[in-house]
Structure 1
């Protein structure tokens, strides 16, 4: 089977509780970025959203909605949560035959959303799948966050990418950062496009660089051919293969809930690259898709089809790319 993109990473069952903006039992302090909750209270959520999470699944679903052929490589348990994850992927026309049911339990994420800000509690099941890419043809591999004994998984992905001259998109996660940049330098060296937020970018270069252009260059020097940094309300920044740098503001759209924004942005960028668009255009597509996702509760509800994305990028409100100088 041939795919446009194969995604590799964690698969999680997501539970998101959306709280009322104000309640006597909790306080959200935007100044020090804390959510204080009274111990022992039963707090009523305004809404509860159940969804399939993990970067590999979210990217697979987002690209499938856009019309790309995708397959997910991940591991889950043998429980009801695992069946729910697989069922959602099947409904979204994502290939699931490479999902292994070898973990003791299925990984889980529980989120609290209040005033459009989100706090996550996660549990990653121990263990790591043994990826077998035999007979799998694709042009791109998207390597998302991997937990457990992730080094073996990275080695298998890199061998597959190198042997078949594939393009690699990479978004490191908490387990990678916990072991330091040196542990995933081989992955960075083979990366065609790196997706990180500003905080993650600083952790990779392992030094404080305030200038975003200098930060992009420092990341590119570690091996990635192209780099994109997202920075919340400040927008996104990119550097391409010619070392030209760009900045792009966010769309002026209402934000309801931020789950899946980063994955939606990466999916939009990757879909543009699949369609041979340059990085500046790809950043616009990513920004549009992310804006659509954060306008709804949950990481999937705001995803777009290719025709919907095409209409969105024609809007006068589409942010315009600007050159970035150090």
Structure 2
């Protein structure tokens, strides 16, 4: 029996570091663009490749925190596909549920790193996502980013959840699913035990802007009303919020030096979900998520800074004065639910 099965794409990330670029933003310092000289040779200061993709990153992160994990993902039989399999096995993630299709190429991305921020050039190809013939019992499923053609696999996932009523679902929809198949995303909410999204994704899924919701807690209430049992919303340096019908908590991010942000969201998910698996309540789960994400942004690459339990403990001890705070308490939540 597995503690966690992740479902989603796995990729090979090629990280490229550049110094010779500029960033142009609008008057509100939003809608920024990375600018390179057109039709010129741009020097780089370094590069390397690593395992990437939400499903792979979360599986590796949760395994490091002590969970027995497997990944349902579809790869090609090309060099990148073989490399992903090797990396998953090296990180003790079970690959018996992973499939390879010689008709498609494995996903890959080029990540341009500039002054601590990253711009991702991502290759997606329509593929046939196959549900494994046999999926053993599992405590948690983490369903995340997939590309074109994911709908059949989602139906198989729903059938699996119907059959295995004790399996809990954490849902972290990807950009393709939100942009191109929002109704399919929304239909999953009623089956979702924990929804993990960033602020922009929360606005799109809820069809509610932060301004209209009046607060992040308002967005959480809307997504709870749409069916999710527990909602987590991350907002980069502003930290994260999490709540259910009883309460909403917030934890600010820890003041660590940001080297690169790739993989921060996946590290948060691995930390948060692992804490919930171990029976910890929402406030401590937020702490595990923030600690793990801060570990990753302190290094370059989505896996280099992921923490084990001892690393989580040390990070929380280092920033022991920064604790989760109640945004909506149980009594207030009860009043709002009756309103």
TM-score range, shorter chain: over 0.9
* Structure 2 CA distance for partners of 1:196 and 1:133, relative to 1, 3 Å: farther
Deviations 1:19-44 (A, max 9, x none): 23xx2xx2123635211111122222
Residue 315 of structure 1 deviates from its aligned partner by 2.6
1:12 maps to 2:16: no
- Work out which of the residue numbers 291, 302, 322 in structure 2 matches 1:319: 322
SS of aligned partner of 1:104: coil
Q: How many residues align?
A: 320
Q: What is the CA–CA distance in structure 1 between the aligned matches of 2:133 and 2:269, rounded to whole Å? A: 23
- Structure 2 partner of 1:174: 175
Aligned-residue offset at 1:135: 4.6
User: How has the CA–CA distance of structure 1 residues 49 and 5 changed in structure 2, closer, same or farther, with 3 Å as cutoff?
Assistant: same
Q: Deviations over 1:127-149 (max 9, x none)?
A: 12211262512100000111121
CA distance in 2, matches of 1:230, 1:213: 12
1:282 matches 2:277 = no
1:87 maps to which residue?
86
Q: Secondary structure at the match of 1:314?
A: helix
CA–CA distance in 1 between the matches of 2:138 and 2:59?
A: 13
Aligned residues of 1:251 and 1:317 also touching (Cα < 8 A): no
**8 Å contact 1:261–1:290 — kept in the other structure?**
yes
1:272-291, CA deviations, whole angstroms, 9 ceiling, x for partnerless residues? 00100011110010000000
**Contact 2:240–2:250 (8 Å) recurs in 1:** yes
Unaligned 5+ segments in structure 1 are: none
Contact 1:146-1:175 at 8 Å conserved across structures: yes
Task: Give 1:271 shift.
Answer: 0.5
> What's the counterpart of residue 232 of structure 1?
236
SS in 1 for 2:129: coil
Kindly report which structure 2 residues correspond to 1:94-173, keeping only aligned pairs within 5 A, or say none.
94-102=93-101, 103-132=103-132, 134-165=134-165, 166-173=167-174
Question: What residue is the counterpart of 1:267 in the other structure?
Answer: 270
1:28 and 2:2 aligned? no
Which residue number in structure 2 is paired with residue 218 of structure 1?
222
Matched residue of 1:312: which SS? helix
The 1-side partners of 2:249 and 2:66 are apart by 27
What is the CA–CA distance in structure 2 between the aligned matches of 1:168 and 1:290, rounded to whole Å? 21
Are the aligned partners of 1:256 and 1:297 in contact in 2 as well (CA < 8 Å)? yes
1:144-184 alpha-carbon deviations (Å, 9 max, x no partner) = 11112111111111211221121000000122112353222
Q: State the distance in 2 between where 1:289 and 1:318 align.
A: 17
Question: Separation in 2 of the partners of 1:39 and 1:172?
Answer: 34
* CA distance 1:316–1:202, change in 2 (3 Å): closer
Counterpart Cα distance in 1 of 2:265 and 2:64: 17
Q: CA deviation at 1:255?
A: 0.4
The separation in 1 between residues aligned to 2:57 and 2:224, in whole angstroms, is 26
Shift of 1:318: 5.5
**Larger displacement relative to structure 2 (65-74 or 173-182):** 173-182
Q: Secondary structure at the match of 1:196?
A: strand
Is contact 1:28-1:114 (8 Å) kept?
no
Aligned partner of residue 64 in structure 1, secondary structure: helix
Q: TM-score, structure 2 length as denominator? A: 0.91
Q: Distance in 1 between matches of 2:305 and 2:124?
A: 26
Match status 1:251 vs 2:262: no
Structure 2 unaligned segments of length 5 or more: list them. 329-335
The 3-state SS of whatever aligns with 1:50 is: strand
Secondary structure of the corresponding residue to residue 122 of structure 2: strand
Distance in 1 between the 2:246 and 2:182 partners?
A: 22
User: Contact conserved, 1:77 with 1:105, CA < 8 A, in 2?
Assistant: yes
**Are the equivalent residues in 2 in contact too, given 1:7–1:144 (CA < 8 A)?**
yes
Q: Is 1:193 matched with 2:194?
A: yes
- Equivalent position of 1:301 in the other structure: 304
